[in-house]
Structure 1
Amino acid sequence: MSANMRSLRFYLGTGLLQGLMLMWLVLYSDWPGSTMAVVGAALLTGGGFVQLLAGQRRQWRTWKAALLLAFAAAVVVQACSELPFTRGVIYSVVAFLLLMTLFSASWLPGRDGFKRRLLGDGAWMLVALCAAWLVQALFDFWTREHHLDPFKSGFLSLRYFTGPPLAFSFLLYLRDLCRLRDLQTQAP
């Protein structure tokens, strides 16, 4: 299997795993909403971190850092659970978690090239998030137009929960392909 296919398999596998775990968490677990928010934030933050550092996924320190970041995300969400449940609070917490993930992923490889990695990964992360939100919005529009409830059908639930993480993962895979192409064109 080529390196590109292994990389694609890693990204799509991570996105699918995140989606399936979110689906189980929301639809099948009997945990309270605050616990689901804490676990979901840890899952998405840790998974996003590992995908941003996919080139270093075979290093133990990457996985250790992902676990620490997931734990920190869980602590942040738990600490914010007492705040009013408004859009402003939710968006602020999400923005903080995204920035925390981005800064951590840019910092772990070292200080050399930190700003370049921060800007590059930040741009790709923004595009990947937009793709995930677009997939979610299109699916929401489609289910409303056809008067479907994605929570009452197994296949629709699967598409509802796995679509956005898969879109995010695929865009980060494209980032790696672009980086590989740039490295190949720079090689003498």
Structure 2
Amino acid sequence: MSDRAYIDTENLLGIMRRACNYVDPRLMDHGYRVAGIVWKILMAKGGYGPREIRDICFLALLHDVGAYKTNEISRLVQFETENAENHAIYGYLFIRYFSPFADMAPCILHHHTPWRTLERVEGMSERQKEIAQIIFLADRIDIGAFYERCGWDGCVERIKSLKGYLFQPELADLVLDPGFSVTKEELSWDYEGGWKQVMNRPYS
């Protein structure tokens, strides 16, 4: 093992969760669930390696970190969110300058950008756009199923109606496939239930 110090994932997550819960526990709990849904989408889609999956899930955990700087927290727990730019900008800055995921910061900047707009954004790779959309889609699934309690069937109907406008058609089709669903138990995805499988590798 290298003699360089490293950050243990479990300890880091515990510190983050305790610190953020002092401000508003809804966002960290929401982040955990979104990360779990992101993990499920990534596994269903394929094409992402284990380390990349871990990093994207960590990014998903932090996707609303910018809301701690704004007054947008209550509005974020609605399925259709308007004027979410402020927390996305603050989140982008945090990820860009204070995290090991600087190359994925644009994904946070655009994690509420409708697909019809995002597909025309310049300066982002197709991979970054896809990650932004995966986080956005997972985020809206959690908002609909957990906060608005519309159930999986209700989420499916909303995704169908917004496919091609809010959501990338290929990703929408993936979660609309009859073989894909998010159960009530999966919305309780936490460190013990899932994070150890994906993220328990040290950052060197």
TM range (shorter): 0.3 to 0.5
Whose helix fraction is larger, Structure 1's or Structure 2's? Answer: 1
- What's the TM-score once normalised by structure 1's chain length? 0.33
- What's the TM-score once normalised by structure 2's chain length? 0.31
Higher RCO (C-alpha under 8 Å, 6+ residues apart): 1
